[in-house]
Amino acid sequence: MVTDPTVTPGATGTLDTVLEAELRRLAGSVPDPELPVLTLAELGVLRAVRLSGPDSVEVDLTPTYTGCPALESMSTDIEKVLHAHGMAEVTVRPVLSPAWTTDDISAEGRRKLREFGIAPPRTQRTAGPVTVTLGPTRTGISTGTGTGTGTGPEHQPEPVLEPEQVQVQDLEPSQDLEPVRCPQCGSADTELLSRFSSTACKALRRCLACREPFDHFKEL
């Protein structure tokens, strides 16, 4: 069992408070399985750690989205760390409300992402809902109508999509965000190459100043 020799057990609640803080630090130090450059504390998914007995603890963990496949791995890694530090029983509970957003990533986490070559998500709001916009599943589809005179893709008319061809693509905040800056050179002159990169939470962009491609952790 983890103890702090500077704390007197006779002080009501004091020992538990110090122990819970230490257990939270240990649980928060677990690396994110998809982005190991970040810890769970820096990612902002660790919500609470509570003692439920002398050697048992409950951990509240909020996934980055409902059904996140990494949740099981996060839970297992937390259990291993806390078991190794004296907790015989570790219960990790998924907590879906309040929902996680990229605003929960700490300043240190954003710094680490940038150093790792990933543009961190931009802070998008302080409170309130996010407006969801609809977009086409594909672009550049020729409908055979319109006023285009050339034969290349740039001359093709914009497609008219049926309702079944439209889906939710991204969560777009209702207010303007600052430009996505290149993590290599800091330029704000970047372009989107793909809405999805190595994981669903990242988009692939390219810097038009240094010409380097990079991942952008999308806002949610």
pLDDT at residue 66, as a whole number: 83
Contact 22, 2 (CB under 8 A): yes
The domain locations on the chain are: 14-100, 103-217
Beta bridge pairs of residue 132:
171
7-55 pLDDT, tens digit per residue, is: 333 334 566 789 999 999 999 999 999 899 999 999 999 999 999 998 9
Closest CA to 111 of 101, 120, 124: 120
The better pLDDT of the pair 185, 11 is held by 185
Q: Could you check whether the bond before residue 98 is cis, i.e. omega within 30 degrees of 0?
A: yes
Helix (H) or strand (E) holding 135: strand 132-136
Per DSSP, the chain holds a count of helices (H) and strands (E) of 4, 9
Query: Hey, which CATH number is domain 14-100, 3.30.565.10, 3.40.50.720, 3.30.300.130, 3.30.360.10?
Result: 3.30.300.130
* Mean pLDDT value across residues 180-190: 96
